[in-house]
Structure 1
Amino acid sequence: MNSTSRSAIARCLSACLFVGSLAAGPLHAAEAPHPKLVVTIAVDQFSSDVFTEYRPLYQGGLKRLAGGVVFPRGHQSHASTETCPGHSTILTGARPGRTGIIANDWQDPSLPRTEKGKETFSLYCVEKPGPVGSSADEKVISPDSLLVPTLGDRMKARDPATQVVSISGKDRSAVMLGGHNANLTLWWTQAGFTTYAGKESTIPKEIADKINTDVRKSYGQPTVTKLPAACASRSRSVKVTDDISIGTLQNLPANSKRWRATPAMDSFTVDAALAAVKSFNLGKNSTDLLAVSFSGTDYAGHYYGTEGAEMCTQQLALDQSIGRLLAGLDKTGIPYVVAMTADHGGIDTTERNKQRGVTDAARIESSLLPVNVNAALEKELTGLPKPIVLGTKEFGNDVYLNAAIPADRREGVLRATYLYYRNHPQIAAVFTKQELIEAEQPSGPVDEWTLLQRAKASFNPQRSGDLIVLLKPYISLYPAPKNVDSDYTASHGSAWGYDRRVPIVFWWKGVTGFEQPVAVETVDLAPTLAKIIGLDVPAGEFDGRALPIVLP
């Protein structure tokens, strides 16, 4: 063998060893993230079902995140799967029974007041209520109802220099993620992004001036959204009522509330988030936190259902919006870690579900709406203060008796109310407050919890109703819509899997990704992030646990 041949063999062996070392790379210990910025992304009404269905179509930010550590069967484990309770779990590590955020709205029997000239007992989850009897027409937004600290609150307690920024299309989403002491809590209104009364000076100038001007202009113009080619096969008209059809991505007139279900809302949310990162110099000094909640998917789901051209278009646009957010963070050069999840899932519109084989799909019967429950009870139970049952015009899981009902009649009224709901063909279960007080805290695999355990996770003895009422599967919480611009066609809020299952994803630069299909909870997200940044939290203050997201 000549020298040339020996040299060639040597080069080949060297190259082969090099290639082999690359192939063996993933077997080495992965490096844990060392972030200067913790980024939490919540996608409103982003069920595991939607994530799984559209995952092959993602090409931008969601594709990048899906290459990280993926728990496709995360759970909002509680029964009342609404926006405010769901967001309250994400950065507190606590279930709604502990956060106190049992619903978007709940009733306070001790607080009658007037709203639009009528007596009401309803409280909004991020409302700072005034004195008893005061008007509820103008609500003051506040984090006061949240009973536990968020991760951002804990980070600021450890290091007061930590900055926390929370931005969303909804006030309740931004407040629940931002916590009690955020440097900036920002949410969308028709006039642009705003914040707590008296804290308007915290809004960066770029947002207050340019971005808000663009928001108003966009909202005030007709919206024309082009159907992506990948969504063409999903474009089929579905008749919801004689006057309302969905499924074909119709154009919208100016000043339409359905603007919120177009890609514009999430796109402007990214604009505001990146402007805030720049204005507050997030991650430049202390370890900071940025929370971004995207609301467009929720509005698309409510107005059009979880299938169809509208949701497909929304998902591809969300993918690009999250990609633009991540690209903007990349440009800062700041090491960051991302945790993404959702506040709840959702159910497709009843009419399309029935077309596609869900024979039990139905809209809620009017006899379950509070006004009709009261009418029925008042016929049976005479001589009582009205209303017997408190409530808004919509069905809610929590049922409250009027505090003015005499003590010697309350037990009989409670039993009659219990039987009214329990005997209804659309009701799966009814639990009394006493049953839930006595029930043990849920444990074991979250996807196998009983209805009682799911209700217990939502239950707070100071705020929950006298009865907890759970609908059967595939019952939409909304009757058929009447107003094409403002009424919803599809819902969430049930105790069933399509509303509870949400993806949980972690990503950082250099992550060795893997997928774990075991069911976990959104309350695991905060303790996992706390572990990553070395934040010690006393035992027992989280309902969740730190997930092992770094391969050995």
Structure 2
Amino acid sequence: MIRTLLTAAAALALAAPALAQEAPRPVPKLVVMISADQFSTDLFEQYRPYYRAGLKRLSDGVVFPNGYQSHAATETCPGHSTLMTGDRPARTGIIANSWTTFKGPRPGEIYCAEDESKGTYKDYVPSDLHLRVPTLGERMKARDPNTRTVSIAGKDRAAIMMGGHRMDAIWFWRDGKGYVSTLKVAPPPAVVAANEAARAAIAAPAAPKPLPDFCAGFANAVKVGDKSMGDGRFERPAGQEALWKASPDFDASIAALAARMVADMKLGRGRGTDVLTVGLSANDYVGHRYGTEGSEMCIQVAALDQTVGTLLDALDATGVDYVVGFSADHGGNDLPERERERGVPSAARVDPALAPEALGKRIAGELGWTGGQLLYGSLNGDVWLVPELTGEWRTRVRDAAIAAWHASPQVAEVLTADEVRALPSPTGSPDTWTVAQRQRAAYDAERSGDLFVFLKHGITPIQAGATHGSPWDYDRRVPILFWRKGLAHFEQPLAVETVDIMPSFAALVGLPLKPGDVDGRCLDLDAGAGDSCAPR
């Protein structure tokens, strides 16, 4: 009997560490979501060997390199709306950065993050009015009023779409005004200091930034129109706010404000779990102005690594148990002029005659229409037929536009709203979806266009700089990274979606989601037999 008891006791002693290891970890006290605007998986992988700071630490966590902004509308507003809601644009209602409406308080172009009843398109009032679903922070706050949500970003649409409707603090950059808020509150000391520092930086000239050794091979000039770029180092004269934003200095300013807000508000040290979202916007401004493959982007990515590291160090200094996610709202493509020099002869800028307004004028002349503009919208996205077109006129104009676009060697596909609406919401791996399924994930019956026109791979829909917005993987594919102290590293190369981020966070904080509550699914962040998605 004694021998049996001793054997049993020894077995329990051996099992105890394993049982303790399998016990669920405490709920983190702070959830942090960082978005780097226009940071594609292509960029993430290209510079991965050179990360030394924040991106290195995140790469040592849980890595999903093939994350997808799975919808076709790969723009800033729709992309950010997926990150903390768990829903695709078809459910968030954020189908694009802007859309056209022919009714309501202000017919015309509507910005995704405005209240159109209170301003003009160019002088708009930032608002969360158009976001139709709750964010993680909202859901957590509804469960526990002690939860605080804070959103800091370089763009209003990034801050609003990640933070949601019920924020305790929201601050974003507004040109000529500095960091401002949608809340009617006086700027706290952190914002006052950030604005003073930013104004001083903008007012002073900036010397060229050092060129890291690994960037030397990217410092090759390319001619784009009458401008030369590709070998720049962010030197700028005094007073150039736009150039300050299109430099690593902008991200450093945003991250410094976020870190100061964490300290001042004592985020993660209250009675509930808090949520912080941070939108780093410089990458997008750099990508648009200089493209993705020159010295400018190389310096920017190296600086992004350092900026993220500085922010993580500030979080470490609080002693708070935090979990951080990192991703992007969309990717981006390089300048077609540089792509042609580097083995992509098909890269080109779109024929301006294909733009909806220009094509509409041509069709009006051919058909004898004298009632004004026929087509509204843009390429690689939604196109609206003016509502005055009815009956046979509507059919003739629609068919003429479709035929003209199909006849162009630069156009990949033209879909009608009826074709897209008839599709079920897409399922399965997002890397296998058709273009029509990608558009279905961004279709909203009230806001979407009558037609959807998509250019071929490598055709840039603007006449200067570089851009995004296509349904192709260089714009859809973004990295998804998670890090928490003690979280074992692993990498999953199969395709996942950015809508999976929110339910993965929800599982960690013990927030239950019923089937169908969101489009995304929880990603198991446990490298072993454990399951971080298991109910707590």
Whether the 8 Å contact between 2:79 and 2:329 is mirrored in structure 1 is yes
Distance in structure 2 (CA, Å) of the matches to 1:32 and 1:79: 37
RMSD value, Cα: 2.0
Report the Cα distance in structure 1 between the residues aligned to 2:145 and 2:76, rounded to whole angstroms: 29
Alpha-carbon distance in structure 2 between the residues aligned to 1:512 and 1:227: 34
Output the TM-score relative to the length of structure 1: 0.89
Q: Does 1:270 align with 2:250?
A: no
Q: Alignment partner for residue 454 of structure 1, among 423, 428, 438?
A: 438
Deviations 1:162-213 (A, max 9, x none): 10001111111011001001111111134321111x5232x322222x2211
Matched, 1:55 2:48: yes
Letter matched to residue 132 of structure 2: L
Which amino acid letter does the alignment assign opposite residue 269 of structure 1? I
Kindly state the Cα deviation for residue 277 of structure 1 after the two structures are TM-superposed.
0.9
> Hey, what's the Cα distance between the residues in 2 that align with 1:33 and 1:232?
46
What are the within-5 Å matches in structure 2 for residues 72-221 of structure 1? 72-111=65-104, 113=106, 121-130=108-117, 135-189=120-174, 190-196=176-182, 199-201=184-186, 203-208=187-192, 210-221=193-204
Give the aligned partner of residue 343 of structure 1.
Answer: 329
Alignment of 1:464-543 (within 5 A): 464-479=448-463, 481=464, 489-543=465-519
Q: 2:359 corresponds to which residue?
A: 373
Superposition deviation, residue 293 in structure 1: 1.0
Cα-to-partner distance string for 1:67-119 (whole Å, 9 max, x where unaligned): 00000001000011000000000001000111110100111122585xxxxxx
Identity of aligned residues (%): 45
Distance 1:383 1:305, change over 3 A: closer
Deviation larger for 363-372 or 314-323: 363-372
User: In the aligned structure 2, how far is the partner of 1:108 from the partner of 1:499?
Assistant: 26
Contact persistence 1:112–1:121 (CA under 8 A):
no
Contact 1:30 1:511 in 2 (8 A): no
SS at match of 1:454: helix
* 1:242 matched residue in structure 2: 226
Q: Which residue of 2 aligns with 1:14?
A: none
- Is residue 348 of structure 2 the alignment partner of residue 362 of structure 1? yes
Correspondence for 1:434 among 418, 426, 439: 418
1:140-181 CA-partner distances (Å, limit 9, x unpaired):
100010011111110111111210001111111011001001
Amino acid at match of 1:156: K
**In 1, Cα distance between equivalents of 2:327 and 2:23:** 23
Distance 2:226 2:128 in 1: 42
In structure 1, distance between residues paired with 2:334 and 2:122: 32
Q: Is the 8 A contact 2:380 2:470 kept in 1?
A: no
Query: Could you say what secondary structure the match of 2:63 adopts?
Result: strand
Residues in 1 aligned to 2:433 and 2:120: alpha-carbon distance in whole angstroms: 41
Q: How has the CA–CA distance of structure 1 residues 312 and 245 changed in structure 2, closer, same or farther, with 3 Å as cutoff?
A: closer
Distance 1:401-1:498 versus aligned 2 partners, 3 A rule = same
Cα distance in 1 for partners of 2:218, 2:288 equals 17
SS in 2 for 1:347: coil
In 2, Cα distance between equivalents of 1:331 and 1:287: 18
Does the residue aligned with 1:307 lie in a helix, a strand or coil?
A: coil
Amino acid of the residue matched to residue 37 of structure 1? L
Structure 1: which amino acid aligns with 2:386? N
| Partners of 2:230 and 2:293 within 8 A in 1 | no
Structure 1: state its 5+ residue gaps.
1-20, 114-119, 482-488
Q: Is the 8 A contact 2:206 2:234 kept in 1?
A: no
Answer whether contact 1:191 1:215 (CA < 8 A) is retained: no
The aligned counterpart of 2:5 is: none
Residue pair 1:259, 1:265 contacting (<8 A) in 2 also = yes
Question: Aligned in 2, Cα 1:307/1:33: closer, same or farther, shift over 3 Å?
Answer: farther
Taking the aligned partners of 1:260 and 1:250, their CA distance within structure 2 comes to: 11
> Given the alignment of the two structures, is residue 300 of structure 1 paired with residue 293 of structure 2, yes or no?
no
Post-superposition offset of 1:299: 1.1
Partner Cα distance (1:69, 1:293) in 2: 21
Q: Could you tell me whether the CA contact under 8 Å between 1:109 and 1:401 is conserved in 2?
A: no
Whichever residue aligns with residue 130 of structure 2, its letter is S
**Helix, strand or coil: the match of 2:227?**
coil
- Which is further off, 153-162 or 514-523? 153-162
Output the TM-score relative to the length of structure 2.
0.91
Q: How many Å separate the matches in 2 of 1:397 and 1:128?
A: 23
2:105 & 2:403 partners in 1: Cα distance? 27
Instruction: Tell me the equivalent position of 1:9.
Output: none
Judge conservation of contact 1:97–1:459 (CA < 8 Å) in 2: yes
**What is the rounded CA distance, in whole Å, between the counterparts of 2:122 and 2:439 in structure 1?**
31
Residue 4 of structure 2 corresponds to: none
Q: Please identify, of 509-518 and 214-223, the stretch whose mean Cα deviation from structure 2 is larger.
A: 214-223
How far does residue 325 in structure 1 lie from its aligned partner after superposition? 0.5
SS of alignment partner, residue 517 of structure 2: coil
Contact 2:379 2:455 in 1 (8 A): no
- Displacement after TM superposition at 1:234 (Å): 1.7
Structure 2 equivalent of residue 11 of structure 1: none
Report how many residues are paired: 508
In the alignment, the residues of structure 1 paired with residue 26 and residue 387 of structure 2 have an alpha-carbon distance, to the nearest angstrom, of 53
Cα deviation per residue 1:279-298 (whole Å; 9 max; x = unaligned)? 22211121000000111111
Out of 210, 217, 221, the position equivalent to 1:233 is 217
Greater alpha carbon shift after TM alignment, 304-313 vs 407-416: 407-416
Task: Report whether the alignment pairs 1:385 with 2:371.
Answer: yes
Q: Which runs of 5+ in 2 are unaligned?
A: 1-13, 530-536
Instruction: Please give the alpha-carbon distance, in whole angstroms, between the structure 1 residues aligned to 2:331 and 2:122.
Output: 30
Q: Which amino acid aligns with 1:100?
A: G
Confirm or deny that 1:223 pairs with 2:206: yes
Which AA in structure 2 matches 1:449?
W
Residue 320 of structure 1: SS of its match in structure 2?
helix
For 1:244, what is the secondary structure of its paired residue? strand
| TM-aligned CA distance change 1:415 to 1:547, over 3 Å | same
**Aligned-pair CA distance for 1:396:** 5.1
SS at match of 1:141: coil
Give every structure 1 segment of 4 or more consecutive aligned residues whose post-TM-superposition deviation is greater than 4 Å. Answer: 28-33
- Give the conservation status (yes or no) of the 8 Å contact 2:69–2:497: yes
Q: Is contact 1:186-1:195 (8 Å) kept?
A: yes
Within 1, Cα distance between the matches of 2:349 and 2:110?
A: 26
Structure 1 residues 297, 270: CA separation in 2 closer, same or farther (over 3 Å shift)? same
Match of 1:325 among 304, 311, 314: 311
